[in-house]
Every structure is written in C-alpha cells, then in structure tokens.
Amino acid sequence: MKDVLIPVLLILLAPLLGGLLYGFERIVKARMQRRIGPPLLQPFYDFLKLADKRRMMVHSTHAFLGIMHFVSLWFALAVLLLGGDLVLVIFLHLLSTSLLILAGYSTRSVFSHLGANRAAISVLAYEPVLIIIAVSIFMLNGTFDTAAVFTGKEPLLYKMPLAFIALLLVLPIKLKKSPFDVAEAHQEITGGVELEFSGLFYEAVYTARWLDYIFCYTLVFLFAGSNILLGIGLVVFTFIYLNALDNSTARVSYKQMLRFSLGVAGTLAFINLLINSFS
C-alpha cells in the first residue's frame, strides 16, 4: 500500500511541485544574470492572473487540443511514476507534444505554424534517443516496466553511463533551454506554437510546462533505481547543469540541433545499447 501511495501523491501534486520548481528556476536564472528576479510563487500568481483574463478562442478545436496536451502529459507522467511500460510512457509523451503541434497548425498564424514546425523538428531530435534508452533498459531488465528499474538493486547509471549522458544532452531540447530553444525562439517567432492561446486555455499549456519538468527529472531519477540519495544527487546535478547551460550559451539553428542530437547523443545512446547487448 505504501509503495503505491507515494507515486499517487506525486502524481496528484505534480502540477504544484512543477510550479515550485519552475519558480525556483526563475530565481536561480535571475541570480545568474545578476537580477533580483521574481518570488518563488510567481508561476502561481501568473496562473491566477491568466484565470482572470477574458476567455478568447481561435476555435474550439484549438482550445481542446491545448487542454488535451496537458491531460495526456499528466497521464504519461502517471504511467511513469506508477511503474508502467516505458514505451507506453514515451508514446503518451509523444502524443501530448503532437497535440500541441496540431494546435499550432490549426490556426492561421504564420508564427504559430513556424513554432509547430520547430516543435516537430525538436521531437525528431530527442525522441529517437529516448527510444534507444528504453530499449537499453529492456536489454538489461528483460522488461520495459519502470517498476523493475525503481526497485532494482544496482542503479542504471552504473550500467548505462553513456545513455545517461545522452539523456542530459537532449533534455535542453525537451525543456526548450538554450542552446536548443529553437521551438520558442522569442526573438524570431514570438512564442511559437503557444502564441494563439490566451486566458484559461493558455493556463493548460502553461501548466503543462510544469508537468514537463517533473517528467524529465523523473527520467533522470530513473537512472538511480532504488538509491534515493543518488537520485536526489542526479536531479540536483541536472538542475544545475541545465540552468548553467541555459544562461551561458546562445541558440543554435534547428539544423545544428538535429546534427548534434542525432550525431552525438544518438551515437552515445546507441553505443550503450550495443554494450548492453553483449554484456
């Protein structure tokens, strides 16, 4: 009963935890840039402010896709935390992103279309790496169930160090951090795929970003297995790494992002897969 209670609580509190993490990240980013920065609860203040704005829709399908983007992402996180099939988790995560991309294509805005194009390219950059990592986990455990990983005696990090490095290399793409924030690129496409959302409907997309933080850091924690202290250490290290990278690099083009992701991260993940297949 206790083994199920903790994941369920994490699932229910995921938006709250993600909002706090996002708020803390904004404080860290401000300090790195020698600014005071917003308060910790600023994401929640923004959430309440959005709820008070006038509800405007491009059309009902656009609003529905934005809401389902949030719901499907939360469902993907739930399957991951409950120890479900990792391939199903990746599929649900891909479905969530695809819904947002379709929302972008459903409008007449040129910037929304550009954002949807770049979001689709970003998926091509990180999704193959996640699939290779999932196959590597299957080679080691004989199952795709993450429950076997969370309860494993030996952390995945010791058996799959190259795969962990590959994950670190593609996380900035997933979280839209520099140098791979091509999907948003505020100076070029003014927010991209999220541009036409507003008010209550933008809240769904805005809060989905908080869930994405929890999702990505759970993948990082997965490499620690049942070693909670190691998992916390990996999450803290990844948090520092992502923010240091985000605040010290300039954005690259989508072509450079694809070459780096598939050429470097994909190669590292594939080498790790070959090593696991022969071990």
Mean local confidence (pLDDT), 8-25: 94
pLDDT recorded at residue 190: 65
Is the confidence at residue 245, as pLDDT, over 80?
yes
Least confident of 28-37, 51-60, 67-76, 100-109: 51-60
Phi, psi of 85, rounded to the nearest 5 degrees: -70, 125
What is the percent of the chain with per-residue pLDDT over 70, rounded to a whole number?
A: 96
Q: Which domain holds residue 34?
A: 2-278
pLDDT recorded at residue 2: 54
Yes or no: say if 26 and 37 are a contact pair by the CB < 8 Å rule: yes
Query: How many domains in the chain?
Result: 1
Yes or no: say if 203 and 51 are a contact pair by the CB < 8 Å rule: yes
Mean local confidence (pLDDT), 108-127: 89
pLDDT recorded at residue 188: 66
pLDDT band for position 202 (50/70/90)?
confident
Q: How far apart are CA 273 and CA 132, in angstroms?
A: 7
ω into 179 cis (within 30 of 0): yes
- Whether this prediction's pTM lies above 0.85 is answered by yes
